[in-house]
Structure 1
Amino acid sequence: MADRLKAILLREAKELKTLLSEAVQSGTYLYPFQGILYFLTHRPLWSPLLSQLLPTLSLSLAVTATLFFFTYLPQVALLAFTSGPLAPFSAILLILSESSTITTYLSRTLLLRDSLTDVFDGTLLARGDTALVSAGRQLKSGSGYLDPIGRLGGLVRRPLGGLSVTGLVRSLVYLPLNMVPVVGTVMYVLAQGKRVGPAAHERYFQLKGWDGRKREAWVGLHRSAYTSFGAAAFVLEMIPVASLAFSYTNTVGAALWASNLEKAVAQGRSSGETKKTG
């Protein structure tokens, strides 16, 4: 039994090492940080965030304060068996993860769905991907609608539903991984990255008109890239209070990635046509 358990752990560690290496090599972990810079330098993208700032901050503070008040000491006592003297700090990280997960679920389900869709579509418009956005919503024209958010009209394809209860439960189930110092935290972040990464491109897949089978095939071929993006985005959204702003900047980063994918496809087609005519 011990040998079997050891073999399982070694296999998991090997798979984790491979996934981590491929994720780093993909470079997509940089997009959430590029999203921060792009968001800060494109003021029209701020309006959806500002409209949801007060209610979402209030929700985040309420969830975080409630968890610290009711669960901090019990979790310190529990973590004392695995983390020893680091238990108070491990409990803080664990509660921040819990509050981030719950706040993200509640805010994206109740408050932010349409707002984040506007930011994603607006970023694509700012990058010149008008044809892609027009597949999912009406666009306004005229001199009065020069900024990308102002150009957004009614939705033709509505954003997908909020996060599922199953996804929330699965996220909370992964939290005990944080009880294992360093390695457990890395495994937890990567596990969340696998979930967050593909979800960040749900709007992109919707605009492309892809069905579930095509989405799964695409994500399967680019699993490491999505895990890399998702892990970086998740770590940013773990930061209390600021997690709201990072939800928007991560959305911008996802849109920048989608825009680059579209440009790569267009360049590939152009190159292919050039070869044929040549």
Structure 2
Amino acid sequence: MTTGVRAGDVADRRAAEFGELPAGRQPVLGAFSVAGFPDLRSSVSAFVAYAERGATMLEVGAPAADPWLDGPAIAAAHRCALRAGDGVSITLETVRRISARSDAPVVVMSYWSTIQALGPRRTAAELASSGAAGCLVPDIPPEHVEQWVAAAVEAGISAPLLANRRAPYDELVVACRAATGFVYAPAVEGQRTGYSAEIDMDSLAAFVRSLRHIAPSARVLTGIGVSTPALATHVVRQGAVDGVVVGSPLIRALAEGGLSSSADLVHQFAAAIAQPQDR
């Protein structure tokens, strides 16, 4: 299986957007929440605060009626956000407002059903005009990867892709080599967001090594199960990743303790992983 996006074009684009990863570069901290949760204004304020407290990438979840890859905390945030209206409109407005107040790159996380409903080209164009830097589609069917990546490239945004740990090798090759921006490698296999048990660091490191063999220039980020700052430190040091994306802990902190609580937690995660990385 091959894509219509040339490997050289992808490598050039990735390098232009994110640069190389020299030894000692600080790991990426992605802060995830759902657009419009708990309401539009509070959502935007939270993302801006996360950037101010150390998040180097903001991942905005597009509210979906069936967030089937997400655990209870994020699924509840999806339901809450959708009470205010259409998920696409909420997402675009959230991104616009964040981009007006922060220079941090904004990557939207959208389910494929949402992309399909609007159309890949229109979705990518709308996201680009709103100020998004990219859009991760974690459940995109392999046969649509080429179409989506081409639409994103045309619109001028990145198209990160998920590396499914249960996928056949040829599908991993397609995802890793077609992805722009980064490859998202789940820290645990077959779990939804909000997972809080142990992470097999050796297994994660081996999986990341296999991804780097497939696509040496790809930046690899991980998430799912990175539930505490201390665990984030271990994942970055032992998992051989370029950074972590944190979602469920921030959503719980925002729901239970408000913005100051969730922003403080972002700062704790940022401080925990702020160590020089030897590569």
Q: Give the structure with the larger strand fraction.
A: 2
**Structure index of larger Rg:** 1
Q: Give the structure with the larger helix fraction.
A: 1
Using the size of structure 1 for normalisation, the TM-score is 0.24
Using the size of structure 2 for normalisation, the TM-score is 0.24
